[in-house]
Structure 1
Amino acid sequence: MTDNFLEPQSLGVPCPRCEKELQLKKGRFGLFVGCSGYPDCDYMTAADFDPGTDVSCPDCQVGKLVQKTSRFGHSFYACDHYPECKFSVPLPPVAESCPTCAYPLLLRKKTTAGERLVCGSNECDYKSKIR
């Protein structure tokens, strides 16, 4: 691998905050997109930024749940209005309400027997039939 891979690469896209150019950079947790005007502008996002799911956050009802990766490499889903809203779940969310408790979020859980939906609320123990 060449050393050029470690150098920031221009993307030709303006920064949404300061209008300087965004660059693809490499950090200790992998690739990310950051502003070329750093440290004056600290805008950054994931290199594979996905606007998220169409599932609304059940806590703040304003944000959407987006997939993120922990520092240990595990995927989870969190509200895109972090740090104001700190809601997160470890499983992929589904925009359906629970038939038992009416909680507005179900989670897709994969088991060895198949896939099922479980309630996103800690107080409810709803589990759908295995698909």
Structure 2
Amino acid sequence: MNSSLFHHTKQEEHCPKCGSILQMKQGKKGLFLGCSAYPQCDYLRPLQRVEHKVLKTLEETCPQCGDLLALKQGAFGMFIGCCAYPQCDFVVHEEQKIEARIPCPECGKGHLVTRRGRQGKTFYGCNSFPHCKFSLPSTPYEMPCPQCGFPLALLKNESETGQHMQCANKTCRHSFEIAK
């Protein structure tokens, strides 16, 4: 019997960013290779290729490569992307729902943009994420709170008499009405 079959052959792969050894790790989306120098180096590479299920091939062509576009199902919901993926990574993005650039009241540097959570629910957060983690569950309005002066309010409901607003400040949450 050949004894070379029973010898342990360990393959080491090195990080392309810093040269440290890559380690196999388990995450919520499966196995991946991560740099052993983490958190100084944040390189990672998934071991399973993320597949997107093609629901329908569309008649429109990709502006980057000229191939057809397709309606696909991915980890974060449905989207339109190029059929030539992974060679072409074109994806049609949704338009931003907030047209007015509302400045972030927490950091003052960024502005609020429309985002989608893991379950597909829309929320509004600072575009300086992860440095600023300010977020709101519904559409913000530039309207100062009469009690604390916070610059944003959330619309709770509308009636014939006016709009019922709530302060977007999590420590205040003062409700007030604006007459029509």
TM-score range, shorter chain: 0.5 to 0.7
Q: Which residue does 1:49 correspond to in 2?
A: 95
Query: Runs of at least 4 residues of structure 1 off by over 6 A?
Result: 36-39, 111-114
With over 3 angstroms needed to count, the CA separation of the structure-2 counterparts of 1:104 and 1:130, relative to structure 1, is: closer
Deviation at 1:102, TM superposition (A): 0.9
Alignment check: 8 A CA contact 2:153 2:166 kept: yes
Q: Does 1:58 align with 2:110?
A: no
The structure with the larger Rg is 2
Which structure 2 segments of 5+ residues have no match? 1-53
Q: TM-score, normalised by structure 1?
A: 0.65
Which structure 1 segments of 5+ residues have no match? 13-19
Deviation at 1:117, TM superposition (A): 1.2
Distance in 2 between residues matched to 1:128 and 1:105, nearest whole Å:
13
Distance in 2 between residues matched to 1:111 and 1:51, nearest whole Å:
20
Distance in 2 between residues matched to 1:127 and 1:45, nearest whole Å:
41
Give SS of 2:57's match: helix
Q: Which residue does 2:139 correspond to in 1?
A: 92
Distance in 1 between residues matched to 2:129 and 2:91, nearest whole Å:
13
From 96, 119, 128, the counterpart of 2:167:
119
Q: TM-score, normalised by structure 2?
A: 0.50
For the aligned residue pairs, the C-alpha RMSD in angstroms reads 3.9
Kindly, what percent of the aligned residue pairs are identical?
A: 27
Q: Deviations over 1:29-61 (max 9, x none)?
A: 221679x9979xx8x886213173421111111
More RCO (CA 8 Å, sep 6+): 1
Distance in 2 between residues matched to 1:57 and 1:33, nearest whole Å:
31
